[in-house]
Amino acid sequence: MEEQIAGLIEELKIKMIETLNLTDITPGDIDEDARLVGGDLGIDSIDVLEMVMMIEKEYSVMIDNKDVGIRVFETLKTLATYIAKKKK
């Protein structure tokens, strides 16, 4: 499981840069334990929803509850862990 999460984190870094058009950032710049929303990357609620759409499309994992969303999007690691758990 931990290996799977580590792989997912690397995959998500690339997908996040692409989805959110973070053109001045490389995967190496992203700290998976750092606060995702309102942190250094300048990610806000619209970006989170864009990620929600991407995650549903790519991993068939739905995050349509605000309370769940706040917990899941705390860091990139919490997001990867959630996807790994819910992925079919």
Partner 1 sequence: MDTTSTTKVVITGTGIVCPVGIGCEQTLAALKADKKGVAPLTVFPAAVPLPVGEITGLDWNSAIVPRTHLIAQTAAAEAMEGINAPPDAVIVGITTGGMEKTENLLLHKEDRPEEYKYHSTGSVAVFVAEQTGCKGPALTISTACSSGSAAIMLGLSMIRSGRFKRVLAGGADSICRLTYYGFNSLQLIDPTGAKPFCRNRKGMSVAEGAGFVLLQGVDGETPENTMAELAGGGLTCDAYHPAAPHPQGAGALSAMDSAMQDAHVDLESIDYISLHGTGTFDNDLAESRAVAALFAKDSVDPPSIPDSSSIKGATGHSLAASGAMEAVIAVMGIVNSFIPANISDPDSNSETEIQISPIQKPVKKEVKAVLSNSFGFGGNNASLVITKPGFAGTQEQSEKPAQQNRRFTVAGTCCLTAAGVGNTAKQIAQNKTLAGCLDSKALAEGLPNREIRRLKRLPRMVLRLVKGAIENTSVLSASPDEDTASSIIPQSIFFGTGFGPLSETYDFMTKLFESDEQFTSPTDFVGSVHNAPAGQAAIKYGAKGPNITATCRYAPFEQALLSAQYLADDAPFLVVCADEYHDALSPLFDPPHDPGSHASDGVASDGGAAFIMESGKGGTGLECRYYGTDFKALVDCVKRDENNHSPKKPGAIMVAYPGITRKAGESLLEDFLEQTSLACPIIDYKRLCGEHASASAVAAGISMELLSKGILPGSLINGDNMDMTGKSILILNLGRVLTLTEAG
Give DSSP secondary structure letters for 21-73. Answer: T-TT--GGG--TTS--BTSTT-B-HHHHHHHHHHHHHHH------HHHHHHHT
Q: Which stretch binds partner 1 (CB under 8 A): 1-9, 29-37, 46-54, 76-84?
A: 46-54
Q: What is the CA radius of gyration of the chain?
A: 12
Q: Which of 2, 28, 64, 88 binds partner 1 (CB under 8 A)?
A: 64
Q: Which of 22, 31, 35, 86 binds partner 1 (CB under 8 A)?
A: 22
The reply on whether position 57 binds partner 1 by CB under 8 A is yes
The reply on whether position 32 binds partner 1 by CB under 8 A is no
